[in-house]
Chain A
Amino acid sequence: MIEVKDICKTFQLSKEALKNSKKNVLDVRQDGREFHALRGVSFSCAQGEVLGLLGPNGAGKTTILRILASALKPTSGDITIAGESVITKPEISKQKIGFLSGKTGLYNRLTARENIEYFARLHGMSKQRIRDVGEQLYAQLGIEPYLERRVETLSTGMTQKVSIARAVIHQPEVIIFDEPTTGLDIMATEVILEFIDAQKEQGVSVIFSTHHLDEVGMLADKVTVINDGTTRFSGTLSQFTSQSNESDLRKAFKHFLSSDEVAVCG
C-alpha cells in the first residue's frame, strides 16, 4: 500500500525562469521567486491496484512521481510504502520502487543484459538472485534473443521491453510509469500495457501518469486528477464517472479540470 499525504513542493525560480515567467500568462502557483509546483497532493494505491495519474501538461505529475521515487524531496507532506516513510528512509523506499519514464533510461553502448544486471547490482542483488529473477523476467518479456545485443541496435519495442526489465529486476512492490507510452508505436505501447496488467495480477501497486484516457479505462482501478499542483479528484474509476455525472472518461476529466469541485474519495 502506498499513501501520498498532502504533498507540497516549492521550487526557487532561477533568474532565467523568472524572466520567462514574466513574458507568459501568470501561473497561479507563482509567488515572487517561489513556484509552488505541488500544493497538497494526496492519493493512495493498494497492493494489486493500478492508479492512473491524470493532468494537463505542467500540472505536477512528473514532480509528484519524482518525489515518490525519492529523486526530489517534498517541501512538506509524507509518502509511505507499507507504513515506511519514503521521505525519511529514501534508501529503503528506493528498493521498493521501480521507475520507468518516457525516456528508457538505458545505456546505449551497453548490451541489454549489461544494462539490466548493472541496475540489479546497484540495487544490491547477488549474482545468483539476478540469474534466478532474470531468467523468469526475460522469458516473461520475451527478450532472451537480444540480451547480448547493444541497446543502440534494438528497435523501439525491444528497447522498451529491456527498460521494463531494468525497472523491475529488483522486484519492487510499487512500479511507477511516467507517461510510458508517449511517442511509442502501437506494438511498443501494447508491451507496456500488457506488462502493467501482468503486474496487477502479481499484486504489485502500479502508478502510471498518462494523457491517454483509453489506457486508464483499460487498466486503472483508481484515478487521480491533478491540476495546478492540487488534487482535483482521487477515487475509483466508477467514482470518477459517477461524481462527474459523465459516462465518458474524457468528459469526466474535463469536468474536474474546469469546475472548482474537489473530490477525494479515499
Chain B
Amino acid sequence: MWLVYLKELTELLRDKKTLFFIIALPLLIFPVIFGAMGLVVANVALEEQQKVLKYAITNNNQVPEFSEALFYHRDFELVELALSGDESKRDAVMSGMVDVVIDIPNVHSEHIDNYTQVQWRLFYNDASQLNLVKQKIEKVFEPYVSEIQGELRAAQQLDDALFNFLTAPIKLVVENTADEREDIGEKVGGLLPYLLIVLCMTGAMYPAIDLGAGEKERGTLETLLLTPISRFAIVLGKFFTIMTTGVVTALITVASLLLWGYLIGEVAGVNVVSKVFTTVGVSDLLLILLMLVPVSAIFAAILLAISIYARSFKEAQNYMGPISIVGFLPVMVAMLPGIKLNWTWALVPISNVALAIKEIVKGTVNYDMLAVILLSTIVFAVISIVFCTRWFNKESVLFR
C-alpha cells in the first residue's frame, strides 16, 4: 500500500498542474484574487459614496429649510419634475431621471403646527447591496428633525430631562458578555471551517481525477490491476495520496491567507490576524487539524470512487461539479444563522466538523461532543472507504 502511496505522491509532485493547484494557487493566486476583489469592492463603495444623487421633491414649499439644505448639499442635485400620482414618482426613479423622489405631503406644515406626526415617503431602488440613498438623505433629514424638536421644546418650555424622556423614554445599553476570543471566534470562526473544509475537497479533486479516471484513460490502471498487490491496497494507496493533497492544500492556503493577512494588516494597521494568533492556542490549531483528517478521508474516498467510475478524465470532471455542491451544502448549512452545535448536529457528517471548528476558535467547545464528532466522522470515512473499495472490485465499474 505504501509503495503505491509513495509512487502516486512522487508522480503527483512531478505534475505541474498538481503543483499549481496545491502550492502556487493558494500561495499567490488566492491573495491576488482576494486583493483584487477588495480593491474592486472598495472602489465601488467609494464611487457610491462620492456619487451625486439626483433627486426630485414634492411640495418643497412646505419645508423651505430642508429644501434649501438639500439644494446646497454637495451630495445632491435637484431635478425639476412635475410629479402628480405615485405612478409618476415610481416612473421617474425607474426611468433613471432621478435616483430618489422625496415625497412631502401638502399638509406637512399643518401637521407640524398641530403637533401631529407627518409621514414623508422616499421612492428609490433599494435592490442594490451598496445603496447609500437613505443614509445620505438622513444626513440632511436628521438635523432638520432636530431643529423641529428644538423649536417644540422651546415653545413648550420643556426641560432637558423631560425632552429626552419624550424623544426616547427607554434607552437600551448593550453590555457584551462575550470575551475577546468568543467575539473573534464568532466573526472569523464561521469563515475558517468554510475555507478549510472546502479547500480539503477542492485540493483533493484534481489528484482524485488523475489517480482514477486519468489512470484508466492512460491504460496504467489495468497494468496495476494485473500485479499481485490486492485491490484494497491499491485503493488505500491512492486514497491516502488524495487525502494528503487535500489536507496539504487546506493548510498551505490557510497559512498563505494568514501570512498575507498579517502582511496586509501590518501595512494597513489592522490587527485581526495577530489577534487570532494570540487568542487561539497551538493546541486548538492542532485540534482543528485533527478534525480535518477524517473529513479529508470522506472526500478522498468519495472523489476516488467517482473518478474510478468515470470512463475518462473529462467524464470525471463533469461529475465533480455536482459533487462539489454535495460537499459545499453541509458547510453552508453550518454557517446559517441560528445553527448551533448540539447532539443532533454532532452526528451530521461535515456540518458537525464545520460547527466544531467554529466552537474551537471561539473557545466554547464541548470536548465530549468533540469526541462524538470525531468518532462519527471516522465511522463515515470508513464507510466511504469500504464503498470505494467495493466499487474498485466491480468489473462493471473498472471496465465500463
Contacts and interface: CB of A to CB of B under 8 A. Distances in A.
Interface of A: 11-12, 14, 66, 69-73, 91, 94-95, 97, 99, 101-110, 114, 118-119, 121-124, 150, 166
A71 B227 contact: no
A110 B12 CA distance: 10
Interface stretch (B216-224, B282-290, B322-330): B216-224
Contacts of B395: 11, 72-73
Nearest to B395: A72
21 contacts: A11-B395, A12-B396, A14-B400, A71-B222, A71-B225, A72-B399, A91-B228, A94-B227, A103-B219, A104-B219, A105-B219, A107-B7, A107-B220, A109-B14, A109-B15, A110-B11, A114-B7, A118-B7, A122-B4, A123-B227, A123-B228
Nearest to A96: B228
Contacts of B227: 94, 119, 122-123
Contacts of B399: 66, 71-72
B11 A109 contact: yes
Contacts of A122: 3-4, 224, 227-229
A105 B220 CA distance: 4
Contacts of B226: 69-71, 94, 97, 99
A69 B228 CA distance: 11
Q: Tell which of B227, B229, B399 has the most Cβ of chain A within 10 Å.
A: B227
A109 B220 CA distance: 12
B10 interface: yes
The contact size tier of chain B is: 20 to 34
Given A11-B396, A122-B228, 16 more contacts: A71-B222, A71-B225, A72-B399, A97-B226, A101-B222, A103-B220, A105-B219, A105-B220, A105-B223, A107-B11, A107-B220, A108-B218, A118-B3, A118-B7, A119-B223, A166-B223
A11 B396 CA distance: 8
Contacts of A66: 222, 399
A99 B223 contact: yes
A106 B226 CA distance: 13
Nearest to A178: B222
Q: Tell which of B4, B7, B399 has the most Cβ of chain A within 10 Å.
A: B7
Contacts of B230: 91
A106 B220 contact: yes
Contact of B10 (A73, A99, A110): A110
A227 to B, nearest CB: 21
Contact of B228 (A94, A107, A114): A94
